[in-house]
Amino acid sequence: MEEDVKLDSNKSDCNAIAKLDRKISVSEFSCHCCYDILVNPTTLNCGHSFCRHCLALWWISSNKTECPECRDKWEGFPKVNILLRDVIDKLFPDALQQKYKDIEENPEITQALQAFNKYGNDQNQASAAIQGNQQRGGGFFSGVLSALTSVAVVLLVYHWSSRESEHDLLVHKPVAKWTPEEVILWLEQLGPWASHYKEHFLSGRVNGRLLLTLAEEEFSKDPYSIENTSHRRAIIMELDRVKTLGVKPPQNLWEYKAVNPGKSLFLLYALKSSPRLSMLYLYLFDYAESFLPFIHTTCPLQKEQEEQEDDLFAKFIDLQDPTWRQWREFLVKYLFLPYQLIAEFAWDWLELHYWTSRFIIVNAMLLSVLELFSFWSLWTRREIKNLPQLMWKHFWKMSSHGIVVAIFWPVIPQFVCNCFFYWALYFNPIINIDLVVKEIRRLDTHAV
């Protein structure tokens, strides 16, 4: 009796499976790319499943890591849905054998699968390396950055707490309060030639108050004895600037930063993030003080170059409006090589700021490479037509950031501003090197 019951239950199960098999068709397990039966079905984060070779062909042709149907980006590297694959293998073995045979005979699919799997291996290795670095407390690169950041913060804390160096800068001290030693310091910063007259000024015990009373004819007499007309003219022109300002005008990066802390930080970040908009801003709102020296340095005329070679004091002469030839050279570089303009400007200060200028030049080169990679990415994805829209979004983004910074600038501590300044100046090149290496590896992966 019991055996009869078991036989009846088995028969009913078999009948149910048979009815289920008759209801299931190949169309219910079809890929939405090739509209054929799923082969090695790969399920993405969004839930859609595709043949693995179809997903590889889509990735090769579009150069995008997103779903071919809903366009959602996938995270990590897609894997074969083992449960779904086993179900299809049991339900449609004959159809799958024919499909496998067609795939093996197609060299394009084989190459796409090899490239796709290599990309997945690289992604898995990179994830494993990141996890290993996190478990070890960071790799060598992050350790170097942490050490440099710690040293910089310690130095900035000391500088901020003492405040001695900033108060001692002549750009903050009125001329009338200069000591004879500070007058000599001002004189030496005019150029190497001025050191010849250092002893003369020391013997006369020239302080700031006496310096303001000196006339041009007195410099040719004892104790100064400046017989060179060009030297005398350069000292008089710089002395006139000192009298007008009441303090020493900034003549290097650190003095400019001491006088204009907010403006220097703004220019540093703005020229790094959006050089074209920053140069346009300088032209519209800071023409005489910043834009004219910039364009005359980066795009000098041949006549200006000869004058600078023959006349050591050409920088004391008021800069004239750029010529059409200068504008033509500037606009070409402005449109296609904006970071080269920054590098050329830093190169002109190489003698005064040996290491700082080199950091700026290297960073400008790296930013140029990253910008080139961005344009290449748009070109390969056939999204170059979206460039005007992206530029408009970038303009509003930079404008909104600038407005926010302008509003909150008065309440930001100077120590925080110094941290941002030195980070952007010295640490960004290290970060950009890592970004360039990642972009090169990505190109190598897609080129396979």
What kind and span of H or E run contains 288? Answer: none
Give which of 129, 332, 159 is closest to 258, Cα–Cα: 159
How far is the C-alpha of 246 from the C-alpha of 60, rounded, in Å?
A: 66
CA distance from start to end of the chain: 68
The strand pair at 49-50 and 42-43 is best described as antiparallel
Burial class of 217 by CB neighbour count within 10 A (0 to 12, 13 to 18, 19+)? exposed
pLDDT at 134: 46
Give which of 65, 72, 84, 83 is closest to 46, Cα–Cα: 72
Contacts of 184 (CB under 8 A, 6+ apart): 198, 201, 202
Give which of 73, 82, 411, 387 is closest to 262, Cα–Cα: 411
pLDDT at 87: 86
Burial class of 305 by CB neighbour count within 10 A (0 to 12, 13 to 18, 19+)? exposed
Q: Is 37:26 a contact under the CB 8 Å cutoff?
A: yes
11-41: burial string, b at 16+ Cβ within 10 Å, e else: eeeeeeeeeeeeeeeeeebebebeebbbbbb
Q: What is the pLDDT along the chain (448 residues), one digit of tens a residue?
A: 444 544 455 555 555 544 545 456 777 788 888 888 888 888 888 888 889 889 888 888 887 788 888 888 887 788 888 888 888 888 888 888 888 888 888 888 888 888 888 888 777 766 655 555 444 444 445 566 566 666 656 655 655 555 444 445 788 888 888 988 888 888 888 877 888 888 888 888 888 888 888 887 888 888 888 888 888 888 888 888 888 888 888 888 888 888 888 888 888 989 988 999 999 999 999 998 889 989 999 998 765 444 444 444 444 445 788 999 999 999 999 999 999 999 999 998 888 888 889 989 999 999 999 999 988 888 887 778 888 888 888 889 888 888 888 888 888 887 788 888 888 888 888 888 888 888 887 776 555 4
DSSP line for 387-443: HHHHHHHHHHHHHHHHHHHHHHGGGS-HHHHHHHHHIIIIIHHHHHHHHHHHHHHHH
Angle subtended at Cα 55 by Cα 52 and Cα 58, rounded to the nearest 5 degrees:
150
Burial class of 439 by CB neighbour count within 10 A (0 to 12, 13 to 18, 19+)? middle
How far is the C-alpha of 395 from the C-alpha of 135, rounded, in Å?
A: 40
Burial class of 421 by CB neighbour count within 10 A (0 to 12, 13 to 18, 19+)? middle
- Chain-centroid distance of CA 111 in Å reads 35
How far is the C-alpha of 206 from the C-alpha of 183, rounded, in Å?
A: 7
DSSP, res 290: I
CATH number of 172-245: 1.10.150.50
Topology at the third CATH level for domain 28-135 = Herpes Virus-1 (3.30.40)
pLDDT at 363: 93
DSSP, res 136: T
Please, what is the angle between helix 275-285 and helix 261-273, to 10°? 140
Q: Which residue has the tokens 């972009």?
A: 439
- Helix, strand and coil in the chain, % to nearest 5: 75, 0, 25
pTM over 0.75: no
- Half-sphere exposure for 58 (CA within 13 Å, toward CB): 18
Count how many residues are written for the chain. Answer: 448
Token pair belonging to 402: 């600038």
Q: Where are the domains of the chain?
A: 28-135, 172-245, 259-447
